[in-house]
Each structure stands twice: as C-alpha cells, then as structure tokens.
Amino acid sequence: MTVTPVKPTLQDIAEQAGVSTATVSRVLNDRPGVNDDTRSEVLRVAKEIGYVPSITARGLATDRTYNLGFVTYKRDPQPISSYHLNIIEGIDQAARESGCHVITTYVKREDMTDLSNFSMFREQRVDGLILAGPALKTSFIMGLYNSHLPIVLLDNLLSGLEIDAVVCDNRAGTYSITSHLIEAHNLRRLVFLSGPSHWFSSKERREGYEHAMREIDQKPEVFYMPDTTMNTGYDTTRDALKLFPDLEGIVAVNDASALGAIRALKDHGLDVPHDTAVVGFDNVTWGPLNEPALTTVRMFKREMGFQAARRLIDIIERSAPRGFQLRLGTELIIRESCGCPREASEPFYTDFGS
C-alpha cells in the first residue's frame, strides 16, 4: 500500500491541481482572495494525496516553532510535583486549539544559574514560555524576560514589572479558610506555616491569614519554612508545638505541608481536628483520602494553565499588549480536618489511576 512513503508537499498539490504553490498556501491558510472553485479543488487534492504540512518548513518561513514551553522547577530527589499535572492539562488544551504543542521541561537549581545552559530552549525551540511556580529564581526569570521571548508567569508574579502572569486570589483564599476556622469552629490561636518569605504566593497567603487574625485582634504567628514539602511541614509543626503548646489550629500554605502537619500532630499524640485543626491550600488529589480528609482551598489549576497558554498565544500571534495580570478566584473545600463533620463522600479523582 504505502510503497513510497514519501511525504507529499505543497508542490505536489500545486502540480496536481494545476495552480501555483502560492495559491495552495493561501488556501491552506484560509486566506482571502482565492476563487471558490480553485479553493475546493486544492482542498480536494490535498485530501486525496494525504497532505500534511511540514511544521518545520512553515516555521522557518514564518519564524515560529508553533511550540510552547512549559518550565517548572524540580528539586532532587523529590519527584516532579503532580501539582503541575492539572496545569499542563489546561495548557495542552489551549495549545491544541491554536495548533501548538507543548514542550515541557524541569529545571533544577543548577540549571538556573546560567541562561546559556538553557539556550536551546530559549533561542529556538519555542515561541514563548510559561514559567510556573514560586521556586524559579528571579534572576532566571529576568534573564528570560530580557531576552524578549514572550513569557507568562503562572502562580507567580514579579512586582513592578510589565510581565504577564496568571495567579489565583491567594489572599482571599487563606482569608476565607482562616475565617472559617475562626467563625465556624470558634478557634483563635492559629499559626501559619509559610513558604519562603520571598515566594509570591506564600506572601499573599500569609497576608490573607494575617488579615483574618487581625479582625479578631489576635496576633498572627508565622513560621517560615525553607520549602513547602510534607517533610518540612512535619518538622515545622514540631517546632510550632514547642512554642505554642496551646495551639488550636494550623493554617498551612499548601496541602503538602498541611499533611505533614497532621502527621506531626498525630505523632505528638494530638487528635486532628479535635485537638488541633489543620487546613491547607491547593486541593491536591490526596486530600480526600487523608484521615481526616483535608479541608483546603481549591485553586483552579486547569483553568490557570489554560488561561496562561491563551495569553501566551495572544502575545505571540497578535503581539497583544504586555503586562496583563489575571487573577482567578478560589473555592473553599470543606472536609474534616477543620473540624466539620464528614460529608457524603466524593468520588475519588485520584491522579494515579493509570
């Protein structure tokens, strides 16, 4: 059947349809100024010979790659965070809708020191970049920004810069979940487990917590952690317990550290949520599986990814004005770790179902 698996080109269509390559190109790109009969004939031939455009050739001619880059951080030996999975899903969809594909890469700390390590990427592979997460170095981001490659930040923001970003309303999120602990469960002595103070989302989340605390004239107590992993959440909770033995609740900057906190409290002989409430932020898929099921703030990661990609494509294709910041809302997910009664159980949308 496929004796000569030689790919048909624009040229071939042109010959068989008896027109020039220019016309074929116009038809294939839906450009105006082609007679309807010609158009349909070209389309027919294209279909008949199974034509597929060469993205490479098109790329060379138009100075594009039709690829979007998704860059995020990886800390050895931790695995890549599943946090990104939903984001990628959104990015992938938006990309498809515009005929783009997504190249994903995971940079380590050392990869960020010199941009030229990253040059294959930066210079040639993609039309633009989505940079996700708080752990990417500012100097790294700035370098990219200065290179004039279109970039959009996701769940991060560099203040004072005309740099596009999509984030969620971190402040409102922690404010509402902290308020929930205060109002629904009558708790007051709450501490906040924060990520590094210069991380954008940590900072905003802390502010939401502080705001809620001040409303009841309670002094905010913040623990800054070097990272926001479960292990660190565990360790930091032990510290917190020493300083505040009468702790009533922990507001964690993310779910991972919240889960660590719960472990630490349990190991310390405390009951969660009876003795101490714990809440997180992120709504990881394991949340409902934990005992107690984790109360948390959901961020719409899929949507964030989608919007970030959309934005990036706008910049690339329409050279849209830069410096947009899109802030998405959040949703309070009440489960048990705050002290609420168990609800009818939700289906398990775990992300490891194969």
Q: Which residues in 42-71 contact DNA (CB under 7 A)?
A: 51-54, 57-58, 60-63
User: How far is it, in rounded angstroms, from Cα 332 to Cα 173?
Assistant: 7
Q: Across-strand partners of 278?
A: 250
Q: Which does residue 243 touch among a copy of itself, DNA, none (CB within 5 to 8 A, set by kind)?
A: none
The DSSP result for 73-93, as a single string, is E--TTSPPPTHHHHHHHHHHH
Q: Which of 178, 236, 254, 276 binds a copy of itself (CB under 8 A)?
A: 254
Here's the x/- map for a copy of itself, 282-321, by CB under 8 A: it reads as x-xxx--xxx------------------------------
133 scored as a contact of a copy of itself (CB under 8 A): yes
Helix/strand/coil for 303: helix
Q: How far is the CB of 123 from DNA (least distance, A)?
A: 9
Smaller CB separation from DNA, 25 or 98: 25
User: How far lies 255's CA from each of 76, 188, 219, 283, 309, in Å?
Assistant: 20, 21, 23, 7, 25
180-209: contacts with a copy of itself (CB under 8 A): 195
Q: Which does residue 354 touch among a copy of itself, DNA, none (CB within 5 to 8 A, set by kind)?
A: a copy of itself
Helix axes 83-97, 301-318, angle to 10 degrees: 40
User: How far is it, in rounded angstroms, from Cα 181 to Cα 280?
Assistant: 12
Give the interface segment with a copy of itself, choosing from 184-192, 257-265, 268-276, 303-311 (CB under 8 A): 257-265
Give the type of residue at 185.
Answer: H
The DSSP result for 204-236, as a single string, is HHHHHHHHHHHHTT---EEEE-SS--HHHHHHH
78 scored as a contact of a copy of itself (CB under 8 A): yes
Q: Which of 2, 29, 146, 319 binds DNA (CB under 7 A)?
A: 29
Q: Which of 1, 2, 5, 37 binds DNA (CB under 7 A)?
A: 37
213-252: contacts with a copy of itself (CB under 8 A): 227-231, 234
Q: Which does residue 102 touch among a copy of itself, DNA, none (CB within 5 to 8 A, set by kind)?
A: a copy of itself
Q: What is the largest CA-CA distance in the chain?
A: 85
Q: In the numeric block, which tokens belong to residue 179?
A: 């308020």
Q: Which does residue 86 touch among DNA, a copy of itself, none (CB within 5 to 8 A, set by kind)?
A: a copy of itself
Q: How far is the CB of 48 from DNA (least distance, A)?
A: 15
Q: Across-strand partners of 299?
A: 330
> Which phi and psi angles does 272 have, rounded to 5°?
-110, 125
29 scored as a contact of a copy of itself (CB under 8 A): no
Q: Kindly list the residues in this chain that would bind DNA in the complex (CB under 7 A).
A: 7, 9-11, 18-23, 25-26, 28-29, 32-39, 51-54, 57-58, 60-63
